[in-house]
Structure 1
Amino acid sequence: MSDAPVRLLIHGASGRMGRALLRLCAGREDCCAAAAVARRVEQRVIDGVPHFSAAELHGVPAFDVAIDFSLPDGLDPLLALCVQRGAALVSGTTGLSDAQQRALTEAAGRVPVLWAANYSLGVAVLDELVERAAGALRDWDCDIVEAHHAHKQDAPSGTALALGESARRSGAEPRYASLRAGDIVGEHTVQFCGIGERIELVHRATSRDVFAIGALAAAVRLRRREAGRYGLRELLFGDPARPG
């Protein structure tokens, strides 16, 4: 296996996550930004990274992994490009349709694909704890409360829904509540209530960098994987059934 840095395509480069990915990638030795894509481009090269508009997507240079934090309508052409070029995809875009989730699964027959609602390492651990707790507390109420900045459009958040799916797999029936206010980066509380007692599992992100750090780590590891659809817990913490 080559030790050359993983060449990344940053899709959604003008957004908060895209800017964080470009900044943090520049300080790593295991990956590099081959190109960046945004809806509109005002400057062609920034800090040595060529920038392309969404309309110019098919003109980007060679890359190993695309990291996508954009909007749902930007995913389809990027997924098609990854399949065409045999490149892996790491996506954190939320609000995808059922058809887009099916398209990700279909593409995973040809390239490595990872979609996650949240790339925080702490949330990956929280997800496992929620699944375990729900299985042990089957008769307890399960509520998921999430808070994000005032500009976040989807509610409940993709992370809240993903945590709910983990709880549901173990027999819980989660309920959701959402708050949009100020500049909250991301807070998730999963509450299990029984008679006379309550358990709260809480994760609070204070910097958006935690999501970019997790996405970059996932991209580096995903390049070494065969075609397939992966989960963040499996990719970062290992799965005995699918060694990488």
Structure 2
Amino acid sequence: MTRVAIVGVAGRMGRTLVSAVEQDTGATLAGGIVEPGSSLAGADIGELAGVGKRGVKAVDSLSAIVDDFDVLIDFTAPQVTLANLAFCAEHGKRIVIGTTGMSDDELAQLDAYRGKVAMVFAPNMSVGVNLTLKLLETAAKALGDEGYDIEIIESHHRHKVDAPSGTAIKMGEVVADSLGRTLKEHGVFERVGQCGPRTDKEIGFATVRAGDIVGEHTVMFATEGERIEITHKASSRMTFAKGAVRAARWVADQENGRYDMQDVLALNE
């Protein structure tokens, strides 16, 4: 059994992760972290998640449970994640990271730990999304340089703080890499006013933030006379949580390195 600890256990995603661990036959709930000084420290994690008392108390620091867990799951904020990554590297723990919105500098800091800790880092832990990425790679190679315009549309709930979503960026990177392009050169993230006609090689992004949308992504390949759309829609955070727990079980047996969900699902083989 993989002993799993969860950061941000009192949040929406944290509570869903607790439920996902409870449903997984190969993982056990070993701890949960709340913000330093939080009044929820000492509360039963199962009760916080609505699954009933589990006898595991929330704590406000990783050092309090350092001997209790094997893998940490972190879906928080960039600087919090980087601090937790350093802790795991120092103490020989594994980590699964679903945090999005990292800057180039923060991504470089994360990558510097690839030889010091076993980590799974992915903008989206959904099995369906990662299968979709493989479909996009195939579609881009077949269509992208044959007069097809590429647009990526993503929708999320009103509380999401970063845009475009990490998943949308990853989809754009997969398409761009397949076509020998880069998002830095060809990504278009804003169209306002007299922006001129579309260029042939640009990859456009559009963002929606509204209500309680869990996550929807569509990549459009459009040309004269036809349009192909590859879409993934998530109706529950549980799809991400189950993928994260699957990643935690997988990474528990891996050597130090930076992995993604393509590795977890053996899609890179």
Q: How many matched pairs?
A: 234
Q: Distance in 1 between matches of 2:223 and 2:109?
A: 40
Measure how far apart 1:41 and its partner are. 4.2
Q: Bigger CA drift: 177-186 or 26-35?
A: 26-35
- Residues 219 and 72 of structure 1: CA distance in aligned 2, closer, same or farther (over 3 Å): same
After superposing on structure 2, the runs of 4+ consecutive aligned residues of structure 1 that deviate more than 3 Å are none
Structure 2 unaligned runs (5+)? 45-53, 182-201
Please give the secondary structure, in 1, of the residue aligned with 2:40: coil
Q: Which residue is equivalent to 1:13?
A: 9
Q: Are the counterparts in 1 of residues 216 and 231 from structure 2 also a CA contact under 8 Å?
A: yes
Q: Does 1:51 align with 2:58?
A: yes
SS at match of 2:164: coil
Looking at structure 2, the residues matched to 41 and 142 of structure 1 have their Cα atoms a distance apart, in angstroms, of 48
| Partner residue in 1 for 2:185 | none
Counterpart position of 1:161: 169
Provide the rounded CA distance (Å) in 2 between the counterparts of 1:119 and 1:127: 12
| Unpaired segments ≥5 residues, structure 1 | none
Q: CA deviation at 1:73?
A: 2.4
TM-score of the superposition, structure 1-length normalised? 0.91
Contact 1:146 1:188 in 2 (8 A): yes
- CA displacement at 1:50 relative to structure 2: 2.2
Residue 239 of structure 1, CA deviation: 3.6
Q: Percent identity?
A: 41
Deviations 1:85-135 (A, max 9, x none): 111111111111222212222211022111111111110011111111111
Structure 1 counterpart of 2:19, from 5, 17, 23: 23
Q: After TM superposition, give the deviation of residue 43 of structure 1 in Å.
A: 4.4
Equivalent-residue separation in structure 1 for 2:72 and 2:89 (angstroms)? 11
C-alpha distance in 1 between matches for 2:141 and 2:56: 47
Task: Give the TM-score of the pair, scaled to structure 2.
Answer: 0.83
| Equivalence map 1:214-229=2 (5 Å) | 214-229=243-258
* 1:134 match: 140
* AA aligned opposite 1:44: G
Cα deviation digits, residues 142-175 of structure 1 (max 9, x gap): 1000011111111111110010000000116421
Q: 1:130 to 1:239 in 2, by over 3 A?
A: closer
Shift in alpha-carbon separation, 1:231–1:75, aligned structure 2, 3 A: same
Shift of 1:61: 3.2
Which of 90, 115, 137 is the aligned partner of 2:96?
90
Q: Structure 1 residues 121-130 or 24-33, which shifts more?
A: 24-33
Q: Secondary structure at the match of 1:203?
A: strand
Is the radius of gyration larger for structure 1 or structure 2?
2
Give the match for residue 28 of structure 2. Answer: 32
Name 2:40's counterpart in structure 1.
Answer: 42
Query: How far apart are residue 69 of structure 1 and its match?
Result: 0.8
